[in-house]
Amino acid sequence: MRKASRSRRLFYGFNVVLLALLSLLSFLPLLNVAALSFSGGTAIEQGKVLFWPVDFTLASYDYVMQNVTIWRAFGITVFITVFGTLINLSATSSLAYPLSRTEYKGAKLVLMLVLFTMIFHAPLIPNYLWLKQLGLLNTVWVLIIPGAISAFNFFVTKSFFQQIPSELIDSARIDGCGELRILWNIVLPLSKPVMATMGLFYAVGHWNSYMAAVFYISKRELYPLQVKVQEIIANSNIMTDASLLVDMNDITPDGIKMAVVMVSSVPIILIYPFLQKYFVKGIMIGSIKS
């Protein structure tokens, strides 16, 4: 193997340094939020906190943990993320599998219709009226059902399914397997990379659900976590609840807001390391058309 030239080594070194700096710049805001959430009220008000907690305290998290409305919103978001992602993956794979096979005669028409939805989106008011007719307004299902299939995720999944040899599927049919059994027992087990990748995409989308909730949900008890976070950040009187057993002298509104941001961000961040080994493979293979 030929040794890399000096200019190429410098180029690689420059890329490593540049990417490290960009990663650090992306991480610093989160580090600042974490430091503020663990700092005492006086230090926050005096602007002493940067990237490390000052006068370390868990008072802001005590406030968040005792706030019932935050945990109700957290539970709604977990429900939407878990069941929504399962529905997304089921619907996407069920549509992508038949359209990935050449023997399906209506594939081109269906693909054009899916592509149309990727380019043109329904206006807000007609979409609102349609969801109202379906009885989905002010339910958690309005955040799940309308977006059951993402056109982009569908095309990536379909491309991945096309990499599976047709001979393998034909042999399963000869052995008497139906299409649903082929999908469940053969196609999906071979598609763990793309399923993990699409699952991560869908889960992040559900976890960060905000605009749909603002437009289609008016009941505050059905607000997901991100809407609740925005409500808390915009509220200047978040420390007026006397029923919470928290020392109000040790916390500030900014500390509570940062603690809420951390509670809403950390769970979805912790999922990524478990799916990282599938992520790059799922994107690369699913993006290549043979």
Q: What's the pLDDT tens digit per position in 248-288?
A: 556 777 777 788 888 887 777 777 776 666 666 555 554 55
Q: Which two tokens stand for residue 198?
A: 């699409």
| CB-CB contact of 285 with 194 (8 Å) | yes
Least confident of 17-31, 191-205, 249-263: 249-263
How confident is the model over 164-178, as pLDDT tens digits? Answer: 888 888 788 887 777
pLDDT tens digits along 94-106 = 888 888 887 777 7
With bands split at pLDDT 50, 70 and 90, how would you rate the model's confidence at 89? very high
Which amino acid, residue 243?
A: S
Q: What share of the chain is helix, strand, coil (3-state, %, to 5)?
A: 70, 0, 30
Q: What is the reported pTM?
A: 0.77
Say yes or no to pLDDT of 109 above 90: no
Q: Which domains does the chain have, with CATH numbers?
A: 59-286 (1.10.3720.10)
pLDDT of 242 reads 47
Between 182 and 235, residue with greater pLDDT: 182
User: Could you tell me which of 11, 109, 38 has the C-alpha nearest to residue 255?
Assistant: 38
Residue 226 φ then ψ, to 5°? -65, -35
Question: What does the pLDDT read at residue 174?
Answer: 82
Give CA–CA dist 255/58, Å, rounded: 10
